[in-house]
Structure 1
């Protein structure tokens, strides 16, 4: 695409998602590639766009399938109702298939969009639990610390906690982008007790409100890690954690649909497989 076209993509992004110029430039510098971008025009003007992100393979035990994330699906607000969102999503899937991907995934921005994407061949596949932490929870015994880690180390921590699950194996490049979204107060962290990792977390926020975009730990350590988060971000008004159902003690949060999958080849996924999406760059 020409520089003019890229500028049009950025303008549409700002009009739909209301991100700052800095945030938009950050995405285009990190992920943008013309061959992984689908754009539709109406009367010579940009009407809709979608991006394919090579975030990592879909792991099913010992098997790997190439996977792209469909991201930033957007249509011009003045042109909505004309089917451009549907068309650009379908074109993105066709592009992914042409590029050799086995599957695409996405995180619908709101619950009503699940039925929209189902009509395009996507299947609800990943779920998550959202848990607002009790800011008055008591401290737990045992010294646990949070250590900021680089993207390459976080990849290894994720793999250890997700072993045996069906999950998106985010690359260091993808996690480095997520790290940029985390703000000065956040980042990629290991929760350690006696120097041994008992959890890992992607933490995003400005200090006033903290969103833990991913918390991976064994269920018996959820309370300990939560207390550590409360202590580390004591000035935050709220801390909200997103975690797999298997990591959350019963009664703290219910599992809800989170991510969707459309495959272009049979994946042979076990019926009762435990599945996890991870960061959605949301």
Structure 2
């Protein structure tokens, strides 16, 4: 069933129990995205939420440039005391059927732990999104670094992506900017002698977490970390073999064998 606003306090408690985010962080998510994001829940016998998931709007773009409506299934979780009883499986089925009726043709999710890849495989999801993660020390470089608005960052990102990828609507990109800026970082254009990069970054203590760096350019990550006063940069980019996300066709639409997910949520 779909969640209503009156369910949000209980869903916030469930979210916190499963992921550890603060109440303020979860409430900010609801405030920014609840109106454009279907939220599904399955109730326990006592009426409390047993499982939940959010279906963030997105598009899955193929190698040929054609885009199909997709849903990024986010914050998929089951109450700790109710796990192992099929609540997540049934909720996924209900949500997928409802999304298909709305014309959504693909579902995408990012398992919180590597062990969950096998769990979701049982429900028809397969690994499509891979990545590579590296860490480099901060270093002053001959780079031009310019903060970008979500629209400017999206335009630069789309220029960098020629293969299959997930594309995000404005609401999600504004949320990514909010997350980035609240940590002391943001969305950037980085020009080196050889490349023009787009980066979405967040600070985590002395480490700069570059959630997306396109194209792959360690020099750009190192320079951004130096500019923001971080000791090192951990950056994620395309072209790796590390399993990262999964996808499922809801209507028989062929899915890419491999695609790029991007930074917006995980």
User: What's the TM-score once normalised by structure 1's chain length?
Assistant: 0.85
Partner secondary structure for residue 131 of structure 2 = strand
Counterpart contact for 2:136–2:218, Cα < 8 Å: no
- Tell me what 1:204 maps to: 202
Count of residue correspondences: 261
Corresponding position of 2:32: 30
Partner of 1:109: 112
Q: 1:34 to 1:188 in 2, by over 3 A?
A: closer
**Residue pair 2:59, 2:168 contacting (<8 A) in 1 also:** yes
1:156 maps to which residue? 155
Contact persistence 2:225–2:232 (CA under 8 A): no
Question: Residue 175 of structure 1 aligns with which residue?
Answer: 173
Matching residue of 2:8: 6
User: How many Å apart are 1:197 and its aligned residue?
Assistant: 6.6
Task: Report the 3-state secondary structure (helix = DSSP H, G, I; strand = E; otherwise coil) of the residue aligned with 2:173.
Answer: helix
Aligned match of 1:248: none
Q: Which runs of 4+ in 1 moved over 3 A?
A: 1-4, 265-271
CA contact (8 A) 2:150 2:187 kept: yes
Assess, with a 3 A threshold, how the Cα gap between structure 1 residues 236 and 64 changes in structure 2: closer, same or farther. Answer: same
Instruction: Find 1:232's aligned residue among 212, 227, 232.
Output: 227
* Distance of aligned partners of 1:206 and 1:269 in 2 relative to their CA distance in 1, 3 Å threshold: closer
Is the CA contact 2:37–2:54 (under 8 Å) kept in the aligned structure 1? no
For residues 222-259 of structure 1, the C-alpha deviation after alignment (integer angstroms, 9 at most, x for no partner) is 143133124223x42442101001xxxxxxxx521111
Matched-pair contact (CA < 8 Å) for 1:75–1:85: yes
Aligned counterpart, 1:250: none
Aligned to 1:215: 213
1:257 aligns to 2:256 (yes or no): no
Structure 2 residue 233 is matched with structure 1 residue 275: no
* Separation in 2, partners of 1:210, 1:151: 19
Tell me what 1:189 maps to: 188
**Tell me, which stretches of 5 or more residues in structure 1 are unaligned?**
246-253
Unpaired runs of 5+ in structure 2? none
* Structure 1 residue 120: Cα displacement: 0.7
Do the aligned partners of 1:214 and 1:279 also contact (CA within 8 Å) in 2?
yes
Query: Separation in 2 of the partners of 1:109 and 1:154?
Result: 26
Aligned to 2:88: 85
Output the CA distance in 1 between the equivalents of 2:202 and 2:37: 30
Task: Work out the CA distance in 1 between the residues paired with 2:65 and 2:253.
Answer: 12
Partner SS for 2:34: coil
CA shift, 1:268, in A, is 4.3
Aligned-pair Cα RMSD in Å: 2.3
Compared CA separation, residues 223 and 212, structure 1 to 2 (3 A):
closer
